[in-house]
Amino acid sequence: MRGFSDILPPASRRWGMLEERAREVLGGFGFSEIRVPILERAELFSRGIGEETDIVEKEMYTFEDRSGDCITMRPEATASMVRAYIEHKLYAADPLVKLYSIGPMFRHERPQKGRHRQFHQVNVEVFGVSQPMIDAEIMAILMHYLSLVGAAGCRLQVNSLGCPNCRLPYKEILRAFLKNHLPRLCEDCRRRMERNPLRAFDCKVPGCREIMSEAPLISAYLCAPCAEHFAAVRSYLETLEIAYEVNPRMVRGLDYYTKTAFEVVAGELGAQNAVAAGGRYDQLVAALGGPDIPGIGFAIGMERLLLILPDEPLSSGPSLFIAALGEGPRREAFSLSYKLNRAGVRTLIDYEGRGLKAQMRRADKFGARYALILGEEEQRTGQAILRDMKEKKQEEIPLSSIFEEIIRRVKGRSP
């Protein structure tokens, strides 16, 4: 199906590693994993993300289930996590809750580089803290994770989108500005002017860019609390020595963001250059029927992260290949390899009864560090040959204690 893909080995191994690292890092910072369903009632997203957004208007997989309920395959995870936070009254013991979740999202878009219909995110949310310290902290955690997994060339951009008190008046000012330049705006920006004038900032049409370079910026219109909050976030970032740039033209796609918004961009990603993005959503919990509790979070796009990771081969060859000749030895190899694998020595055998040369070739092809040769001759003499494929040296080891000898020599030695 278009936009849906299989994740095959060896790539699946990288996925596993990225998820494992995320769990380690987030666990270390006191986050707990939450697993939420992939299906939710459709209205959760229209209320959370915003009725007028493209995601809700034309990108959601929404259908009626057999009982006639209107169901959506989640296009993002924050709404679900907020729903769970409210539904289970996770704020009851203490409003401060740190959660993360890993899984697939679904949007019916035309696929391109870094964009799929099923894509995967690591989502991180902190509920119950309105202080700017947490804003800086989660950005720091994000940057730490990205550098830990080896993502190079990432730039953190931050902005403040204000709160309803300052954003609404600013939107009108921006709208008025756009109206003044209406004749020179592209068709898309004219539409944006009505719906969401902020979006005009990321228009790619040169004429519009020129106009927007002179457009009023929200930073000049932030209310005192928002301006103060933003200044504090920046100063805390500096305390943690996190490199960032203020991007006053950065806009978020989802309606629920307030105050802090941030994005990690990387070149070489093509048109979709955001690897991770997030921001504060102080009204969302209340808007979805919960108490008045602030929140902040981000999502990392795993497909995009994979795109900017260096693709080291990550060889995962076995430690040992047993080359066996003849019925008796083959049975012996079969049993021995099972026991060795069980004991943590990655062992491979040949199932097809090939000749010795062919088996050695396979041992080499799979990148085995050692080869054990087990044939009729070895059965007679009671000595098997253990060959170090890398050093090209081999020695005889007694069949009577073969398991222990191999464990002793091979275990822990990587190919």
Judged by CB, which is closer to RNA: 2, or 66? 2
In angstroms, give the least distance from the CB of 342 to RNA: 25
Bridge partner list, 393: 388
Cis peptide upstream of residue 111 (ω within 30 degrees of 0) = no
Q: Among residues 35, 66, 204, 342, which is the contact residue for RNA, using CB under 7 A?
A: 204
Q: How many residues form the binding site for RNA (CB under 7 A)?
A: 71
Contact between 53 and RNA per CB under 7 A? yes
Contact between 277 and RNA per CB under 7 A? yes
Using DSSP's 3-state secondary structure scheme, residue 396 falls into strand
Q: Among residues 91, 144, 171, 202, which is the contact residue for RNA, using CB under 7 A?
A: 202
Judged by CB, which is closer to RNA: 95, or 111? 111
User: Applying CB under 7 A, which part among 11-19, 103-111, 145-153, 225-233 lies near RNA?
Assistant: 103-111
User: Applying CB under 7 A, which part among 10-18, 263-271, 282-290, 402-410 lies near RNA?
Assistant: 263-271
Subset of 61-90 contacting RNA (CB under 7 A)? 76
Handedness of CA 245, 160, 49, 110 (dihedral sign): negative
Q: How many helices (H) and strands (E) does the chain have?
A: 15, 16
CB 88 within 8 Å of CB 68: no
Contact between 52 and RNA per CB under 7 A? no
User: Applying CB under 7 A, which part among 140-148, 309-317, 333-341, 371-379 lies near RNA?
Assistant: 371-379
In angstroms, give the least distance from the CB of 67 to RNA: 27
User: Applying CB under 7 A, which part among 133-141, 149-157, 385-393, 401-409 lies near RNA?
Assistant: 385-393
User: Applying CB under 7 A, which part among 60-68, 163-171, 287-295, 350-358 lies near RNA?
Assistant: 350-358
Give the containing element (helix H, strand E) for 34: none
Contact between 354 and RNA per CB under 7 A? yes
CB 197 within 8 Å of CB 170: no
Subset of 4-43 contacting RNA (CB under 7 A)? 4-5
Q: Please provide the DSSP assignment of 135-200 as one string.
A: HHHHHHHHHHHHHHTT--SEEEEEEE---HHHHHHHHHHHHHHHHHTGGGS-HHHHHHHHH-GGGG
How big, in percent rounded to 5, are the helix, strand and coil portions of the chain? 40, 20, 35
Q: Reading across the β-sheet that carries 97-106, which strands appear in turn?
A: 32-33, 97-106, 118-127, 295-301, 274-280, 258-266, 154-160, 245-246
Chain-centre distance for alpha carbon 317: 27
Contact between 252 and RNA per CB under 7 A? yes
- Per-residue interface string for the shown chain with RNA, residues 282-311, x marking contact by CB under 7 A: -----------------xxx-xx-------
Judged by CB, which is closer to RNA: 202, or 232? 202
Give the containing element (helix H, strand E) for 51: none
Judged by CB, which is closer to RNA: 112, or 400? 112
- What is the distance in angstroms between the CA of the first residue and the CA of the last residue of the chain? 38
Letter for the amino acid at 146?
Answer: L
User: Applying CB under 7 A, which part among 170-178, 217-225, 340-348, 353-361 lies near RNA?
Assistant: 353-361
Q: Among residues 89, 361, 408, 413, which is the contact residue for RNA, using CB under 7 A?
A: 361
Subset of 115-174 contacting RNA (CB under 7 A)? 115-116, 119, 121
Sorted by sequence, the CB contacts under 8 Å of residue 106 that are 6+ apart come out as 38, 60, 61, 73, 74, 75, 117, 118
Q: Among residues 358, 401, 404, 413, which is the contact residue for RNA, using CB under 7 A?
A: 358
